[in-house]
Amino acid sequence: MLDRRTLQIAWTLFLFALTLLIIYRIGYTLIIFAVALIFAQLLAPVVNFVERLFPPRVPRVWSLLIVYVAVLAALAAIILPLVQRLSAEAASLAQRLPDIVKSDPLSHVPMPRWMEPLRPDINGFLQQEIGNLGRSIGPMLTQLGTKLVTGIGSALGVVLIPILSFFFLKDGSLMRDAIVDSFDLRRRELVDNIFSDIHLLLAQYIRALVLLALATFTFYSIFLGLMGMPFPLLLAGTAAALEFIPAIGPLAAAIIIVIVGAVSGFNHLIVLVIFFLLYRIFQDYILNPYVMSAGVEIHPLLVLFGVLAGDELLGIPGMFFSVPAMAALRLIIIRLRRRAARAT
């Protein structure tokens, strides 16, 4: 006969498993809300600054409308021309892929003497893989600009994210107060502190990632353009986007750029590799510690585990959200331990 405590434990485990299953099944919806929250975090300082310029009686919604109009104008003036340039480079790369496949991709790449006998085999392997890559991504590259503008496949999310962000910015404090007030008096302070920690963590982490991505795009586009690398903006944009994937993203970007340089006849691959090493030292040891939140103190092994696990669960969005999710869980555990220590 099972006692009452055993049944309570079993019921708790069942509810926990059911919650995880529901989270997994509604993963796309949670991603939409999470991206909207991130967008709201990025706009929050601007909205607060604009709000301080108005008299206290002016509703916050007017500050939101001004910021939204300004952001849309900036996107139209800056992002759209950049997207058109990226689209043109992507289409050019798609057109050149068949010629690259037919040529010798390694003809301009120096090799050690002991590897020269393997050059034909390596070249045949690369031709086969580049051919498969061209057949799979060629049509996608030619339509990249359209997809970037219209968000094919995720039009609903593109529409919902600004709307949800608007409500987060407008009523975020009211939502937070309502959640905190739903707990009993003994736990309200704890819940409020957890919300404060997570809010600060997300704000600093997301803004730091945006700054790091902008820095990567700026440095890469300037360097690749000066070196005469083909498709400099497309490759710099790819590297900037991959900065949002911890650990694996920057390495993947470097490998992609080196491969594109090798198969397109770029003659300064060693200089490319040296640039990547110097830039990673600059970003990881100078820029990153300066802009990144001190609260994101996670061991590199845990970061790699989180990225790989996130990829298995939700793909690329899971890889992106893995680190902030683990950092938020760490802050919650720290708060709970502090409360337990005070209670004893």
Do 98 and 204 form a contact (C-beta atoms < 8 A)? no
What is the per-residue pLDDT across 154-204, written as a single tens digit (0 to 9) for each? 556 667 888 888 888 888 888 888 888 888 888 888 888 888 888 888 878
Do 228 and 259 form a contact (C-beta atoms < 8 A)? no
Average pLDDT over residues 312-336: 79
Q: Are 241 and 322 in a shared domain?
A: yes
Domain that holds residue 207: 183-344
Listed residues 138, 171, 204: the one ending a domain:
171
Q: Are 38 and 165 in a shared domain?
A: yes
* CA angle (317 as vertex; 316, 319 as ends), nearest 5: 65
Model pTM score: 0.69
pLDDT at 70: 86
Q: Are 195 and 80 in a shared domain?
A: no
Q: Are 161 and 279 in a shared domain?
A: no
Q: Are 230 and 257 in a shared domain?
A: yes
Least trusted range by pLDDT, from 130-139, 314-323, 324-333: 130-139
What is the per-residue pLDDT across 76-111, written as a single tens digit (0 to 9) for each? 777 667 767 766 776 666 666 656 555 555 555 566
pLDDT at 147: 44
Q: Are 110 and 138 in a shared domain?
A: yes
What's the rounded Cα separation, in Å, for the pair 162 and 171? 14
Q: Is the pLDDT of residue 153 over 60?
A: no
Q: Are 234 and 281 in a shared domain?
A: yes
**Count of domains for the chain:** 2
Listed residues 142, 171, 200: the one ending a domain:
171
Q: Are 188 and 334 in a shared domain?
A: yes
What is the per-residue pLDDT across 261-307, written as a single tens digit (0 to 9) for each? 877 777 788 888 899 999 988 887 888 777 665 556 666 777 777 77
Listed residues 115, 144, 171: the one ending a domain:
171
Encode the chain in three state secondary structure: CCCHHHHHHHHHHHHHHHHHHHHHHCHHHHHHHHHHHHHHHHHHHHHHHHHHHCCCCCCHHHHHHHHHHHHHHHHHHHHHHHHHHHHHHHHHHHHHHHHHHHCCCCCCCCCCHHHHHHHHHHHHHHHHHHHHHHHHHHHHHHCHHHHHHHCCCCHHHHHHHHHHHHHHHHHHHHHHHHHHHCCCHHHHHHHHHHHHHHHHHHHHHHHHHHHHHHHHHHHHHHHHHHCCCCCHHHHHHHHHHHCCCCCHHHHHHHHHHHHHHHHCCCCCHHHHHHHHHHHHHHHHHHHHHHHCCCCCCCCHHHHHHHHHHHHHHHCHHHHHHHHHHHHHHHHHHHHHHHHHHHHC
Please provide the average confidence, as pLDDT, over all residues in the chain: 76
Answer whether residue 242 is part of any domain: yes
Q: Are 198 and 309 in a shared domain?
A: yes
Answer whether residue 327 is part of any domain: yes
Q: Are 43 and 83 in a shared domain?
A: yes
Average pLDDT over residues 325-339: 82
Answer whether residue 14 is part of any domain: no
Answer whether residue 4 is part of any domain: no
pLDDT band at 217 (very low <50, low <70, confident <90, very high): very high
Q: What percent of the chain has pLDDT over 90?
A: 4
Answer whether residue 19 is part of any domain: no
Q: Are 213 and 129 in a shared domain?
A: no
Answer whether residue 2 is part of any domain: no
Distances (CA, A) of 151 to 158, 262, 282, 317: 7, 31, 34, 15
pLDDT at 1: 52
Q: Are 96 and 147 in a shared domain?
A: yes
Answer whether residue 21 is part of any domain: no
Higher pLDDT, 149 or 182: 182
Buried b (16+ CB within 10 A) or exposed e, 224-238: beeeebbbbbbbbbb
pLDDT band at 145 (very low <50, low <70, confident <90, very high): very low
